[in-house]
Amino acid sequence: MLRVIAFVVTLLAAVPGCVSARETGFLDRTVSLAGVEYRYQVYVPRDFDPARRWPVILALHGGGEYGSDGLRPAGGALARSIRLHPDRYPAIVIFAQAHADGTPGWQRQGGEAALAAVDQALAEFSGDPARVYLTGFSAGGNGAWSLAYRNPKRFAAVVVVCGFTNAFTGRTSGVVYPPIAPPSQGDPYLAIARRVAGLPIWLFHGDADQSVPVDESRRMSAALRTVAADVHYTELPGVGHNAWDSAYEDPAMAAWLFTQRRR
């Protein structure tokens, strides 16, 4: 019997990807772009089956998590909700990390590396290209707007939490963020809305936010309605900048997200 068990273990180890396919939880991964290494974590559900096609979520962190350890972005926000309610998030979830290099990372190479991590996860974990979702909070909300604006046909839906689209200086990081839409496009909110009009979008913002003005989400929501986009807007009374816990804890949002497919 021991010889049989040893033979099976050896056989499994010899099959490429067989052992890694059974890894679940929060896993360390790395992607390289233009010779620069970006570490990140990817969440794999406990019941992961490589024979199925899985939704993929790209999660972008805020200004307090810039760095290169690949770990901090998976410490709270969406990662916290997944740990508390794993049944709500039956998906492969990428917790990308932009470097603390003084640049508006998600608008620059950090965003490109995040998309490369999505491609890597789609290949490694049987991801479904028609169900790739994008979310981010604070500076990551700005990143979500930026990636959606530049790649509107890549995603099936977007969830933006206390995000911003105009010129802004990060309260925590000191990073200077340029406007997402160039001035030549006129009304910046309407310019973005026109580009992402085909995407289902859900916005969250606390009306007591002292870091990112709630008017950013109010005006984006109004612009999206102007172009007849599929938009939901949840304004949280009395909530400050930390709107992400309420957003990612909302079971209705999670259920809505997984009904969306790329059009």
- Each domain of the chain, given as residue ranges in start order, spans 24-257
Q: What is the pLDDT of residue 208?
A: 98
Q: Quick one: tokens of 77? A: 């926000």
Identify the pLDDT of residue 3.
46
pTM of the model: 0.91
What's the mean pLDDT in 205-209? Answer: 98
Asked whether 258 and 135 are in contact (CB, 8 A), the reply is no
Residue 101 has pLDDT above 70, yes or no: yes
Q: What are the φ/ψ torsions at residue 156 (nearest 5 degrees)? A: -95, -25
- Spatial distance between the Cα atoms of 38 and 20, rounded to a whole number of angstroms: 20
Supply angle C-alpha 257, 260, 263, rounded to 5.
150
CA-to-CA distance for 255 and 95, rounded, in angstroms?
Answer: 20
Please state which of the ranges 4-13, 46-55, 61-70 shows the lowest mean pLDDT: 4-13
201, pLDDT greater than 70:
yes
What pLDDT score was predicted for residue 179?
A: 96
As a 3-state breakdown, the chain gives helix, strand, coil percent values, each rounded to 5, of 40, 25, 40
In the block, residue with structure tokens 């608008």: 107
Q: What is the mean pLDDT of the chain?
A: 92
* CATH code reported for the domain at 24-257: 3.40.50.1820
DSSP 260: -
Does residue 13 carry a pLDDT above 60? Answer: no
pLDDT tens by residue, 23-54: 899 999 999 999 999 999 999 999 999 999 99
